[in-house]
């Protein structure tokens, strides 16, 4: 019986890889007791800034059984987005790697939907739901519990095989599946490169990120004016930031993705500094119609560009 139980989980993982996912792991759906105190402290210290949604639905955020009736298992997946391309103008405002191409929400949702249908038709009849930043789910916590990596000092999930340039998504299902073992050892060791490299000192201590000082937060989530104390510290980042990942030794393992939907446009990658700064709304809409960059809207992008230019 246990062998068949294991085989079902292995079939799910094989299907996930067939769909293009980098890795897949499974954990038992239960209350996240270890994460409760850390999340509560982070919120009480207001390190979430204007991301008020992080304080909403705390009960569901910590217990998936309140999201899906009779939830038994969480299937976590990773999707590689590490690019082979680079922006051609070294003086152009820097775009985070994850925003080079099609918004990952669409790509992952489609793949997760196909994986759920496979489980329902080939493994076990069940009810379930796909999650890609679309509900109060602690993605990194579930991926860590599924043995896909550990939470690094920069607060990102780090895979010992793949580094950290990937998206995380989940299926929460009411079927019992064989759960993977969590990686117990933290492999960051004495390394503090991410902390030392952060130009705004957003990583205020190992494993603690003050989002209010993070370039990604300020350039995407913050809808007001950018904190003037951070002037001159953005290192030319216009949307998001990869610095703490770029310096991480584990990302020497990162390999370019093979996802066609993540192939960036030639126009975007070859934008010059002048073209960025003179961008109008029609050009913005042309370049970013299916991109995560539209999240900041044209006005937000222009604000970011003005902040970089001073």
Helices (H), 79-201: 104-118, 139-145, 193-197
Helix (H) / strand (E) containing 168:
strand 166-173
In the annotation, is 59 catalytic?
no
Q: Are 95 and 201 in contact (CB under 8 A)?
A: no
Q: Are 82 and 257 in contact (CB under 8 A)?
A: yes
**185: how many CB neighbours lie within 10 A of its CB?**
8
Spot the catalytic one: 133, 139, 210, 242. 133
- Give the closest residue to 90 by CA, choosing from 201, 216, 235, 205: 235
Cα 215 versus chain centre, distance: 15
Q: Are 121 and 127 in contact (CB under 8 A)?
A: no
3-state secondary structure of 128: strand
**124: how many CB neighbours lie within 10 A of its CB?**
14
Q: Are 168 and 216 in contact (CB under 8 A)?
A: no
Residues annotated as catalytic (active site), given as ranges:
133
């Amino acid at each position: 019986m246990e062998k068949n139980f294991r085989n079902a989980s292995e079939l799910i993982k094989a299907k996930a890889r067939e769909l293009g996912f980098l890795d897949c792991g499974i954990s038992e759906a239960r209350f996240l007791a270890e994460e409760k105190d850390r999340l509560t402290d982070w919120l009480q210290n207001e390190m979430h800034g204007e991301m008020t949604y992080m304080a909403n639905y705390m009960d569901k955020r910590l217990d998936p059984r309140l999201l899906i009736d009779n939830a038994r298992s969480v299937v976590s997946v990773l999707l590689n987005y590490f690019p082979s391309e680079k922006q051609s103008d070294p003086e152009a405002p820097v775009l985070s790697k994850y925003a080079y191409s099609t918004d990952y929400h669409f790509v992952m949702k489609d793949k997760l939907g196909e994986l759920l249908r496979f489980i329902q038709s080939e493994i076990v009849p069940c009810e379930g739901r796909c999650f890609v930043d679309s509900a109060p789910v602690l993605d990194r916590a579930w991926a860590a519990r599924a043995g896909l990596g550990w939470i690094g000092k920069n607060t990102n999930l780090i895979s010992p095989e793949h580094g950290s340039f990937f998206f995380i998504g989940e299926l929460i299902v009411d079927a019992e599946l064989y759960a993977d073992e969590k990686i117990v050892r933290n492999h960051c060791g004495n390394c503090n490169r991410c902390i030392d490299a952060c130009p705004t000192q957003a990583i205020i201590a190992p494993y603690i990120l003050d989002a209010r000082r993070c370039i990604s937060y300020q350039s995407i989530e913050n809808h007001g004016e950018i904190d003037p104390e951070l002037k001159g510290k953005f290192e030319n980042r216009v949307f998001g930031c990869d610095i703490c990942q770029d310096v991480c030794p584990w990302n020497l393992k990162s390999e370019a993705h093979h996802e066609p939907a993540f192939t960036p446009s030639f126009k975007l990658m070859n934008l010059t500094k002048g073209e960025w700064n003179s961008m109008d709304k029609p050009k913005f809409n042309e370049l970013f119609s299916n991109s995560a960059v539209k999240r900041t809207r044209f006005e937000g992008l222009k604000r970011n560009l003005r902040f970089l230019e001073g």
